[in-house]
Amino acid sequence: MPSVHVMRKRRRRAMNEINVVPYIDVMLVLLIIFMVTAPLLNLGVDIELPKANARALDQKQDPVVVSVSETGEFFLQIAGEPRAAIDDESLVNKVSAFVRQNPNVPVLVAGDRRVDYGRVYEAMVLLQQAGAPRVGLMSAPAGEPVPAGAVRR
C-alpha cells in the first residue's frame, strides 16, 4: 500500500490547455447566420440612373438622397441608413429636421430614367419645402457602371 506521501505526489496537475472546439462551433454557426441574413439587409430600391458626362463630387459628409423609383415611389436615405419608402408629408418632415441640424448637408434626387419627370420635379419641390438650400440630381457616368458610393451631379 502506498504511503500518504506518495499519494500527495500523484495529485493531478492543472491543465494548461483550452479546448477551442466549442468556440469554433459557435463561430461557424454565427458565420452561417450572418451569411444568410446579409443579403436580406439590402433594402434598397433598384434605380436605373440616366447616363451623363459629369464629374464626381468630393463630399465630406454623406448626402441626403431621395430616390424616385420607376413606379414613382419616394425612398429616403439619410446618413448611411438603408433606404426606406416614404410618403410626401413624411419626406418633408424628416428632411426638414435633418437639414436644420446639418445645414450644409448635400441633398440629392436620384430619379429612375424611366419615371415621369414630373414626379422627380415633385421630389425637388418637396425638398425645397423642407428647407434644403440646394438640391442636386444624381446620374450614372456615361458608358460605365456606377461605382459604389459615387455621387454625380
Do 76 and 127 reside in the same domain of the chain?
yes
Do 9 and 58 reside in the same domain of the chain?
no
Closest by alpha carbon to 86, among 63, 67, 58, 110?
Answer: 67
Domain harbouring 104, CATH code? 3.30.420.270
Phi first, then psi: what are they for 138, rounded to 5°? -95, 150
Task: Note down the domain range covering 21.
Answer: 4-40
The number of domains in the chain is 2
pLDDT tens per residue, range 91-107: 999 999 888 988 888 88
Q: What is the pTM of this model?
A: 0.56
**Is 80 in contact with 62 (CB distance < 8 Å)?**
yes
Do 78 and 36 reside in the same domain of the chain?
no
Amino acid at 103: P
pLDDT tens per residue, range 14-43: 777 888 888 999 999 999 998 888 777 665
